Amino acid sequence: MSTVHREANGLRAALSTVRSTPIADGSTLDEIFARALLGSVAEPGDGLLGRAIDAIGAIGAAEVLLDSASPAVLVDALTRAGGSIDAREAETGLARWSPRLDHGAFARSLEQAARVGAHLLLPSDAAWPVGVDELGIHAPLGLWVRGREHALGSSASISLVGARAATGYGEHVTMEASAGLVDRGFTVVSGGAYGIDGMAHRSALASDGTTVAFLAGGVDRFYPMGHETLLARIVATGAVVSELPCGAAPTKWRFLQRNRLIAAASEGTVVLEAGFRSGSLNTAGHAAALGRPLGAVPGPVTSPASAGCHRLLREYDAVCVTDAEQMAELVGGARRPGGRAADPTSDDRGTGMATSHDAVRVLDALSTRSPRELADVARRCGMTPSSVMGVLGGLEAIAQAKRHPLGWLRVRRG
Amino acid sequence: MSTVHREANGLRAALSTVRSTPIADGSTLDEIFARALLGSVAEPGDGLLGRAIDAIGAIGAAEVLLDSASPAVLVDALTRAGGSIDAREAETGLARWSPRLDHGAFARSLEQAARVGAHLLLPSDAAWPVGVDELGIHAPLGLWVRGREHALGSSASISLVGARAATGYGEHVTMEASAGLVDRGFTVVSGGAYGIDGMAHRSALASDGTTVAFLAGGVDRFYPMGHETLLARIVATGAVVSELPCGAAPTKWRFLQRNRLIAAASEGTVVLEAGFRSGSLNTAGHAAALGRPLGAVPGPVTSPASAGCHRLLREYDAVCVTDAEQMAELVGGARRPGGRAADPTSDDRGTGMATSHDAVRVLDALSTRSPRELADVARRCGMTPSSVMGVLGGLEAIAQAKRHPLGWLRVRRG
């Protein structure tokens, strides 16, 4: 019996309580254990671990770690599996993972998860947000979820993010955007922070929509503390999610890595208000790097709180979005049957050029009060009488010009 | 002696007064006369006339018009010159130009130009804004200028345009932008209208800069009337310009054609504030069609007065510009020696990602108060001690971490 299987069996009860479905068999149990364990020793986005898992699987990687194997064993296992990790890299990896191996802490973390009702979602689960797999070797090993797992797997999701230091303007725009997106059938994804994130969640909840918050620490302790009630409300109808185990504290690195999940778990990201150095630009950068649609809401150029959004428009080729309709369009239109999809024909794109050039010239030459004869109109607009006659016929048809016993009149508007 | 030369000679005195330099010879006299005359019978941007001039010259085209020649004569002349206008087109052209031929009105128009001190600038003149030649067969035949002709020929020019219905926000941004561009050596081009245009001109004047206003009617009558004083001030140090002869009234068609000149006569166009259907979007469209840099200043998405700018960012691929620096950059940087050029290195583009990923993780693992040993730091950040040591050395060098007898400390900021 392998070390992984033996330890997994020892934790079977705890592992069962952190799964939403019964554990089917021994290999599933091992996989759950291995991913939870590896997630407790590696920092989010550890590419070396991602490569090891790609080569020998999570169970294989956990096995090497548990056996306190020499790097040579890992290199050997990877080489046999066709991996490309050399001795030096293997040594580096084990040197940073091994010191964090703590069986007691790991067991307590599982107990804490069970206590708060957090479930561990795995890549093989139906509710797994497939978008995060595009992170490749930087994809999360698993996701700890409080709330409804299926809120995560929604295909129609959009991230609304922004600065903590939001203005009334930013909050207003976010409120309208989130409510409008919920109305169109979207799940609103954000980071649970103060400011824009919080407003995005609140407005979605107020519209009876589904919203998902990704945290930078364990889901057992809501951060920020001032959002404890908000996050609890999100748990009730949506989901609060983290790739970090219960007990893990949020750190700057983990915030940056959490941002990559927000970008990867949604179809597109919109930054609603952000200063020049706002952390939400990092989320935007991840969205852009993943080739996901990226939108930015402009604001007054006199407001430093919008400088980051303007920067995204200038430097990141973000799309300028001004309302929920345009945000929905950014990721491909409304998703709820019956939701209003963008109708390209509803905008006549008129810029005063809607009428033809000739029509403009003929209208210029007409008066609303003094009827003018055809030749007079032709001379005034510098066109031939026959051309003018053709245009007048068209203008008459759309009620912009009318005949009079003494010639032609322009129809007054409004 | 040709009809053109005979009539030009008859108007020699009047034509001399509308030129800023002495008329060199008979053929120059004929060219001045021909272009002024054709400009009095054709509407701006008449492509058929442009093609005729390309084929047989302005003098040739005026000759055909004056001789009241049958279309066959025009077709014959064009065919001999290798042109491609057929009989039907020639008929159409003469049918719209001939009825406007009015020798008395033409002479009065020249007298009026002389009275207000307007000069006729020709494509062969040094001060001719070469950019307008890119309009091809739609290029102006000549430009009537009041003020300093050379203000027009400046190579460093930028158009600042926008809606008449400007808000305090739009006016404020325009004021700052125009002053900043003048400081960088740019000539500010606009349309003399109320709102954004007026503010662009005023601010340029207030900064002792050069500004040029293009009008949609003759330069003898300032439009709008409420800007009579402003336009007179522009004449004193810059230029008020129109392709229409004195006495010509502004019409909607002429406003649209005037917009093409604003776009063509400047290196780039910036729309500072514009509603969804503002006429300034037409100027922007011309700039885009000419391949000139196009910028748009964003505003609150809650302000309908900025909806046109956001539309340009979304639909016309306009560049988001928020200040004079970025506008100057749009057209290639500052132009006055000593003017501040855009310095790409002055922006470190930091989004919280300025420090490396590893540095962020090591800083996360340090405390500002409790010194931590290397192994402890390594375990906390999940990196190997040797990697941490390398990063700590770097952080020490930039004073973000420091050594302590008991380990390492993070340096408090600020």
Least Cα distance to A280 among A254, A262, A300 occurs for: A262
CA dihedral angle for residue B397, residue B402, residue B404, residue B408, rounded to 10 degrees: -110
What's the pLDDT score for residue B75? Answer: 87
Close Cβ partners of A19 (under 8 Å, ≥ 6 residues apart): A32, A119, A120
In-domain check, residue B121: no
In-domain check, residue A124: no
**Interface contact flag, A298 B313, Cβ < 8 Å:** yes
Identify whether residues A74 and A142 lie together within a single domain. no
In-domain check, residue A174: yes
In-domain check, residue B348: no
Q: What is the DSSP letter of B372?
A: B
Identify whether residues B188 and B100 lie together within a single domain. no
**Mean predicted lDDT score pLDDT of chain A:** 90
pLDDT in tens, A75-120: 888 888 887 788 888 888 888 899 899 999 999 999 999 999 999 9
- Please indicate if any CB of chain B lies within 8 Å of the CB of A352: yes
Residue-level length of chain B? 414
Q: Where residue B227 sits, what CATH number does that domain have?
A: 3.40.50.450
Structure tokens at B126: 């040094």
Identify whether residues B179 and B322 lie together within a single domain. yes
Select from B342, B374, B400 the last residue of a domain.
B342
From the list A92, A253, A353, the residue facing B364 with the nearest CB is A253
Please, which pLDDT band fits residue B336 given cuts at 50, 70 and 90?
A: low
Identify whether residues A277 and A183 lie together within a single domain. yes
ipTM of predicted assembly, 2 dp: 0.80
Identify whether residues B378 and B300 lie together within a single domain. no
User: Considering its fold, how many domains does chain B have in total?
Assistant: 3
- Please indicate if any CB of chain A lies within 8 Å of the CB of B314: yes
Q: Which of A254, A272, A313, A362 to mutate to test the interface with B (most CBs of B within 10 A)?
A: A313
Q: Residue A93: helix, strand or coil by DSSP? A: helix
Are A163 and A275 spatial neighbours (Cβ–Cβ below 8 Å)? yes
Q: Where residue A401 sits, what CATH number does that domain have?
A: 1.10.10.10
Q: How far apart are CA B355 and CA A414, in angstroms?
A: 61
* Residue A340, pLDDT above cutoff 50: no
- Within 8 A of B351 by CB-CB distance, chain A residues are 277-279, 281-282, 285
In-domain check, residue B293: yes
Which residue in chain A is spatially nearest to B252 when comparing CA positions?
A: A364
Which residue in chain B is spatially nearest to A355 when comparing CA positions?
A: B253
Least Cα distance to A142 among A49, A230, A78, A210 occurs for: A49
pLDDT in tens, B40-70: 999 999 999 999 999 999 999 999 999 877 7
Please, which pLDDT band fits residue A334 given cuts at 50, 70 and 90?
A: low
Question: Region B303-311: what's the mean pLDDT?
Answer: 97
Domain housing B367: 357-410
pLDDT in tens, B348-381: 333 333 346 788 888 888 988 889 999 899 888 8
Identify whether residues A57 and A82 lie together within a single domain. yes
Identify whether residues B161 and B264 lie together within a single domain. yes
Question: Region A313-342: what's the mean pLDDT?
Answer: 79
**Mean predicted lDDT score pLDDT of chain B:** 90
Identify whether residues B19 and B79 lie together within a single domain. yes
Identify whether residues A331 and A249 lie together within a single domain. yes
Query: Strand B401-404 relative to strand B407-410: parallel, antiparallel, unpaired?
Result: antiparallel
pLDDT in tens, B125-174: 999 998 999 999 999 999 999 999 999 977 799 999 999 999 999 999 99
* Residue A212, pLDDT above cutoff 80: yes
Structure tokens at A144: 């700890």
In-domain check, residue B310: yes
What's the pLDDT score for residue A302? Answer: 97
Identify whether residues A57 and A181 lie together within a single domain. no
Burial B358-387 (b: 16+ CB within 10 A, else e): bbbbbbbbbeeeebbeeebbbbbbbbbbeb
In-domain check, residue A121: no
pLDDT in tens, B233-266: 999 999 999 999 999 999 999 999 999 999 999 9
Q: What percent of chain B has pLDDT over 70?
A: 93
**Interface contact flag, A43 B382, Cβ < 8 Å:** yes
What's the pLDDT score for residue B359? Answer: 83
In-domain check, residue A306: yes
Identify whether residues B193 and B258 lie together within a single domain. yes
Select from A302, A319, A346 the last residue of a domain.
A346
- Within 8 A of B254 by CB-CB distance, chain A residues are 364
Identify whether residues B110 and B134 lie together within a single domain. no
Structure tokens at B205: 């004047």
Please, which pLDDT band fits residue B404 given cuts at 50, 70 and 90?
A: confident
* Residue A226, pLDDT above cutoff 80: yes
